[in-house]
C-alpha cells in the first residue's frame, strides 16, 4: 500500500527538520522529488543525501515573483508533470500582539499563507490537465488552539486550513485532493535544548507522553498523497499525540 512509484512531488522547506522527514518518506515510497528551500547549499547537500534521481529547486518564498516561477521550474525539472505538492515551508516572527510590528505580521502571512496559495494555484494547472493531483499543506496544532505570542503564525496556519477546504471543493471533480497535516510538538534540536522543567511541563500536555518524530508527519503525508487516499479531501490530519483532540 501507499506505493508512490512513478509519481512526482514538489516539497517546500525540504531541508528543514519536518521537511526533510517528509521528503525522505516520499522518496522512500518511490516518488521522484523536486526539493525546495531558501538555502541553496544546504538544499543541494540534502538532495545528494536523498540519493536517486531527485532535483533541487531553490526558492525564496518571501519573493512573490520567485514563488510564481517555482512550480513551472519544478515541472520542467521533473519531466513535465507534477502529481504532488507539499506546502511545508514556514517562518515565525513571534511577539505579543500589542508589540507586534507590521512586518512581523506581514512576513509570516506572506511566506506561510500567500506563498502556499500561489503554489497551489500554479500546481492546480498541470494537475487539472492530468486529472490527478495531491496537495498537502503542513499547518500546526496552534492553528486550531492558538498560542500566546503567535497571533501571526496561528492566523497563517488556520488560514491554510480554510484555504485547503475551499480548494478541495473547487478541484475535487478533477481528481485532485487537498488536505492538511497539523503537527503538534515534534522532536527537534530546539525541543531537545529545553530545560528539563520545561520538557516535563510540555510532556504533561501530551497524553501520549512523548514528543512526535518527523517521521510521524512524513507517514501522514505519504498516506494523504497516495492513490489509496483518493476519497479523502478537505481534511486536516492531526499528528499531536492527543494534545488536541479535534
- The tens digit of pLDDT for each residue in 193-207 reads 678 887 888 899 999
Any idea which residue has 496552534 for its cell? 142
pLDDT at 190: 62
Quote helix, strand, coil % in the chain, to nearest 5: 50, 15, 35
Range of the domain at 22: 8-187+214-238
d(CA 75, CA 42): 22
Backbone angles phi, psi at 95, to 5 degrees: -175, 155
User: For position 135, which CATH number holds?
Assistant: 3.40.50.720
> How many structural domains are present in the chain?
1
- Average pLDDT of span 2-31: 95
d(CA 112, CA 132): 25
pLDDT above 90 for 191: no
- Quick check: is 244 in a domain? no
Q: pLDDT tens digits, residue range 63-79?
A: 999 999 999 999 999 99
**Strand runs labelled E in 172-221:** 176-183
Q: pLDDT tens digits, residue range 136-190?
A: 999 999 999 999 999 999 999 999 999 999 999 999 999 999 999 999 999 876 6
- Average pLDDT of span 221-244: 97
Where b means 16+ CB within 10 Å and e means fewer, 93-110 reads beeeeeebeeebbebbbb
Active-site positions? 153
Residue 185's nearest CA partner among 236, 128, 147 is: 147
pLDDT at 202: 85
- Quick check: is 246 in a domain? no
Task: Note if the pTM is more than 0.85.
Answer: yes
- Average pLDDT of span 117-136: 98
Any idea which residue has 506563498 for its cell? 115
Among 9-13, 83-87, 104-108, 186-190, the least confident range:
186-190
- Average pLDDT of span 207-219: 95
Q: 26 with 225: CB under 8 angstroms?
A: yes
- Quick check: is 28 in a domain? yes
- Quick check: is 139 in a domain? yes
- Quick check: is 2 in a domain? no
Q: pLDDT tens digits, residue range 29-59?
A: 999 999 999 998 899 899 888 888 999 999 9
Q: Both ends of the chain: CA-CA distance in Å?
A: 27
d(CA 106, CA 111): 9
- Quick check: is 103 in a domain? yes
Angle at 235 between CA 107 and CA 165, to 5 degrees: 60
- Average pLDDT of span 6-15: 95
Amino acid at each position: 500500500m501507499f506505493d508512490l512509484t512513478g509519481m512526482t512531488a514538489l516539497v517546500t522547506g525540504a531541508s528543514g527538520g519536518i521537511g526533510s522527514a517528509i521528503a525522505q518518506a516520499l522518496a522512500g515510497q518511490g516518488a521522484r522529488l523536486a526539493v525546495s528551500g531558501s538555502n541553496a547549499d544546504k538544499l543541494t547537500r540534502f538532495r545528494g543525501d536523498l540519493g536517486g534521481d531527485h532535483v533541487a529547486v531553490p526558492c525564496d518564498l518571501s519573493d512573490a515573483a520567485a514563488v510564481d516561477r517555482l512550480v513551472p521550474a519544478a515541472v520542467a525539472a521533473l519531466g513535465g508533470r507534477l502529481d504532488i505538492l507539499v506546502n511545508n515551508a514556514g517562518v515565525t516572527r513571534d511577539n505579543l500582539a500589542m508589540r507586534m510590528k507590521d512586518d512581523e505580521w506581514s512576513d509570516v502571512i506572506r511566506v506561510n499563507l500567500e506563498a502556499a496559495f500561489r503554489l497551489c494555484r500554479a500546481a492546480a494547472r498541470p494537475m487539472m490537465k492530468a486529472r490527478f493531483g495531491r496537495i498537502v499543506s503542513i499547518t500546526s496544532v496552534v492553528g486550531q488552539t492558538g498560542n500566546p505570542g503567535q497571533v501571526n503564525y496561528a492566523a497563517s496556519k488556520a488560514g491554510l486550513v480554510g484555504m485547503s477546504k475551499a480548494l478541495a471543493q473547487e478541484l475535487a471533480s478533477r481528481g485532485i485532493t487537498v488536505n492538511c497535516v497539523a503537527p503538534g510538538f515534534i522532536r527537534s534540536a530546539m525541543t531537545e535544548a529545553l530545560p528539563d522543567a520545561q520538557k516535563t511541563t510540555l510532556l504533561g500536555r501530551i497524553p501520549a507522553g512523548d514528543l512526535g518524530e518527523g517521521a510521524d508527519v512524513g507517514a501522514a503525508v505519504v498516506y494523504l498523497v497516495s492513490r489509496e487516499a483518493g476519497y479523502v479531501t478537505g481534511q486536516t490530519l492531526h499528528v499531536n499525540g492527543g494534545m488536541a483532540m479535534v
